[in-house]
Amino acid sequence: MRTKWMPRSMRVAPKLDPSLGQRPMRRRHALLIRHRLTARIWRPLVEFTRRRHLRFRRRLELDENVSTGRSSTVISAGV
């Protein structure tokens, strides 16, 4: 996935591109299952996604700690 608006580090897609099509992916997945390679292939992808999410959560927590300017006005959702 390439776009000029994203930083280079974020351009790498953490999951497979849906535009690859369903039929070829089913064939590949069947091949992975047949040769018992599913866990070997997916485990690193899941771990990568997990670590990326943890980094995001850490950054989000740091941003919340920095910005202390919260509004004191409560606005009802029903307004």
Domain annotation covers residue 78? no
- Output the tens digit of pLDDT for each of the chain's 79 residues: 455 566 665 555 555 555 556 677 788 888 999 999 999 999 999 999 999 999 999 998 888 766 655 666 777 777 5
What's the domain count of the chain? 1
Q: What is the pLDDT of residue 76?
A: 74
Range of the domain at 37: 21-65
Domain annotation covers residue 74? no
Domain annotation covers residue 71? no
The rounded distance, in Å, linking the Cα atoms of 3 and 8 is 9
Q: What is the pLDDT of residue 73?
A: 72
Q: Do 47 and 13 touch, CB atoms closer than 8 A?
A: no
Q: Token pair of 68, please?
A: 């202390």
Domain annotation covers residue 3? no
Angle at 1 between CA 30 and CA 3, to 5 degrees: 170
Domain annotation covers residue 61? yes
Domain annotation covers residue 75? no
Domain annotation covers residue 73? no
Domain annotation covers residue 47? yes
